[in-house]
């Protein structure tokens, strides 16, 4: 069987869902299971509705709710015709009623907890998957809607829950495998799951990719396809740099590094389940039915360019922690790390000296409580609106002069570098700059390192290369654990999970 995941833009309208049905029909002989995101922008709107309701603005929240409901019914009408859409309405209405009640309750209580937020955001994928399943059914695809909350089991870390694979495998085998053996096409919402007690959870923003990989691993899929709005994984975000090129083949390790350091095209944890089961992943363009996209496998042919791709992760803060004068240096770092541990701080880049430490983390995860506790043992300053630029490629550290060439390019772009990390990871060179400098820096780097067209290595036959990669990779596809160097450490949650 194969898993096919379609993102928000791929199901944003009746026309887009129509294309999805055609793509799925073209794979019907391979026992597809379909995972869909909420329609484009719906999750953002649910977040906005929640914020408005929780701040007491019930009318504005309900207005947004009504326009979102209307968009879903209009799409269903356009896809199904008014008669069939009317027969779908009894399946959609209870969800809209629940959502409306929740928003009214929220406006009264004025507090949106992480658990409440997961419940709120779950409606986007529930609604889109119901509409897509029905659209498939009337186009001759033998679709069966599956409630993701009944087979994808996570812990209770609301807003970024972690899958419990044993339970997920058991439930998926029980609920989904019989459908597949009856030649049905299961259709389910991505991103949403539930604890073993049945409380709704989500896998973090952009998490539908992760759902697809989790279900793929649970059911031993032959292939996982991530259908999106670009031609595959590219040498950089095409929105930042229109010259970006599609990467035909890339290794699990490199792709995971790219996803972790900001390539939004894949949720950072997506590849972990695929790596564990050695399942090839493809990133494909749902606007192009003939898309060949990017193939991600345990081993990919070396890129002839120095780097495989450039990413930029914005919304980052730098926190500088300097031992206050008079404070014993001995034990300083231990106290800082203990404080970070108490606050479950997840950092990206760390630079350490005997009496100071700087680290970066996502600004939205930086809590005042952490800063004030650190302030009790050190002088703390914080810079927001920073970005991590990361150049990824295998074996880059064996080649002399690469760092110099990267930093000369950045100097030529007149961009100031705040922190550097080279040496801890075998796969990347990363550095921190101001968010506003990202387009300039990425465009200069792309022109310098990807000006030839050689990075896009021609692709071997899809099945042949995937099969070979799986055979070669079996047992040796564990992601590398990075070692710490004396001056800089790169820790990514991708490593920590793996
Ligand atoms: P979906 O809704 O299908 O999940 P996303 O918006 O989450 O799609 O991801 C696709 C977007 O990722 C693209 O439109 C592109 O702007 C962005 N992106 C960032 N980095 C890359 C990259 N290296 N390759 C391809 N796309 C990238
Ligand atoms: N709908 C969710 C989000 O927007 C999950 C996803 O699209 O992958 O974050
Ligand atoms: Mg996405």
Render the burial of 10-20: b for 16+ CB within 10 Å, e for the rest. Answer: bbbbbebbebb
Tell me the CA–centroid distance for residue 5 and ligand 3, in Å: 10
Compute the chain's Rg from CA coordinates. 23
Q: How far apart are CA 387 and CA 318, in angstroms?
A: 9
Tell me the CA–centroid distance for residue 279 and ligand 1, in Å: 21
Tell me the CA–centroid distance for residue 206 and ligand 2, in Å: 4
The answer to whether the beta carbons of residues 388 and 257 sit under 8 Å apart is no
Each residue of 63-105: pLDDT tens digit? 999 999 999 999 999 999 999 999 999 999 999 999 999 999 9
Q: What is the pLDDT of residue 178?
A: 97
Residues constituting the chain: 498
Chain centre distance of CA 283: 13
- Please, how many CA atoms are within 13 Å of residue 428, restricted to the half-sphere of its CB? 32
Rounded to whole angstroms, what are the CA distances from 20 to 132, 413, 495?
9, 42, 34
Mean pLDDT calculated for residue range 2-28: 97
Q: How far apart are CA 306 and CA 109, in angstroms?
A: 55
Mean pLDDT calculated for residue range 256-269: 91
Tell me the CA–centroid distance for residue 225 and ligand 1, in Å: 14
The model's confidence at residue 495, banded by pLDDT at 50, 70 and 90, is: very low
Q: Where are the beta strands (DSSP E) in 217-345?
A: 223-228, 249-251, 281-285, 294-297, 309-323
The answer to whether the beta carbons of residues 396 and 307 sit under 8 Å apart is yes
Tokens (6 digits) for 427: 């796969």
Q: What is the pLDDT of residue 291?
A: 81
- At residue 297, does pLDDT exceed 60? yes
Tokens (6 digits) for 490: 């790169």
Q: What is the pLDDT of residue 115?
A: 98
Ligand 1 surroundings by CB, under 6 angstroms: 7-10, 37, 206, 228-230, 233-234, 236-239, 263-265, 309
In the block, residue with structure tokens 């100071």: 356
Chain centre distance of CA 63: 30
Q: How far apart are CA 42 and CA 271, in angstroms?
A: 25
Each residue of 124-164: pLDDT tens digit? 999 999 999 999 999 999 999 999 999 999 999 999 999 99
The model's confidence at residue 452, banded by pLDDT at 50, 70 and 90, is: low
Q: How far apart are CA 181 and CA 199, in angstroms?
A: 29
Q: Which of 427, 439, 435, 396 lies closest to 241, judged by CA?
A: 439
Q: How far apart are CA 472 and CA 469, in angstroms?
A: 5
Query: Which ligand is nearest to the Cα of residue 211, counting in written order?
Result: 2
Q: What is the pLDDT of residue 427?
A: 83
């Amino acid at each position: 069987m194969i898993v096919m995941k379609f993102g928000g833009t791929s199901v944003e309208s009746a026309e887009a869902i129509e294309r999805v049905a055609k793509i799925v029909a073209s794979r019907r002989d391979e026992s597809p299971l379909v995972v869909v995101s909420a329609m484009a922008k719906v999750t953002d709107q649910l977040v906005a509705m929640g914020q408005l309701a929780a701040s007491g603005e019930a009318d504005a929240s309900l207005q947004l709710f009504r326009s979102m409901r209307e968009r879903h019914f209009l799409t269903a009408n356009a896809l199904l015709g008014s008669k069939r859409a009317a027969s779908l309405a009894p399946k959609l209405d209870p969800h809209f009623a629940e959502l409306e009640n929740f928003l009214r309750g929220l406006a009264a209580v004025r507090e949106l907890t992480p658990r409440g937020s997961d419940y709120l955001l779950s409606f986007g994928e529930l609604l889109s998957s119901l509409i897509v399943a029905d659209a498939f059914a009337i186009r001759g695809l033998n679709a069966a809607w599956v409630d993701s909350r009944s087979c994808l089991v996570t812990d209770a870390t609301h807003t970024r829950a972690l899958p419990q694979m044993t339970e997920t495998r058991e439930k998926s085998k029980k609920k989904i495998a019989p459908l597949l053996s009856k030649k049905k096409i299961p259709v389910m919402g991505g991103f949403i799951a539930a604890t073993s007690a049945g409380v709704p959870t989500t896998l973090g923003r952009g998490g539908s990719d992760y759902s697809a990989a989790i279900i793929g691993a649970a059911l031993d899929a032959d292939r996982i396809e991530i259908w999106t709005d670009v031609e595959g994984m590219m040498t950089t975000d095409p929105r930042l740099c229109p010259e970006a090129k599609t990467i035909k083949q890339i290794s699990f390790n490199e792709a995971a590094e790219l996803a972790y350091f900001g390539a939004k095209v894949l949720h950072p944890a997506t590849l972990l389940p695929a790596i564990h089961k050695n399942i090839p992943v493809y990133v494909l363009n749902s606007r192009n039915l003939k898309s060949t996209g990017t193939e991600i496998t345990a081993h990919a042919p070396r890129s002839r360019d120095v780097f495989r791709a450039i990413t930029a992760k914005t919304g980052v803060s730098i926190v500088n922690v300097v031992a206050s004068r008079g404070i014993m240096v001995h034990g300083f770092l231990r106290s800082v790390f203990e404080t970070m541990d108490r606050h479950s701080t997840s950092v990206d880049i760390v630079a350490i000296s005997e009496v100071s430490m700087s680290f970066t983390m996502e600004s939205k995860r930086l809590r005042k409580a952490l800063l004030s506790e650190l302030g009790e043992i050190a002088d703390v300053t914080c810079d927001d609106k920073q970005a991590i630029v990361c150049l990824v490629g295998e074996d880059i550290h064996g080649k002399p002069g690469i760092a110099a060439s990267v930093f000369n390019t950045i100097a030529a772009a007149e961009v100031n570098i705040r922190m550097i990390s080279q040496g801890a990871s075998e796969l990347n060179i990363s550095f921190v700059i101001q968010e506003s400098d990202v387009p300039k820096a990425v465009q200069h780097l792309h022109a310098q390192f990807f000006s030839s067209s050689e990075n896009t290595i021609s692709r071997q036959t899809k099945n042949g290369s995937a099969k070979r990669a799986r055979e070669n990779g079996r047992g040796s596809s564990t992601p590398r654990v990075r070692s710490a160097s004396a001056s800089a450490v790169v820790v990514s949650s991708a490593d920590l999970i793996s």
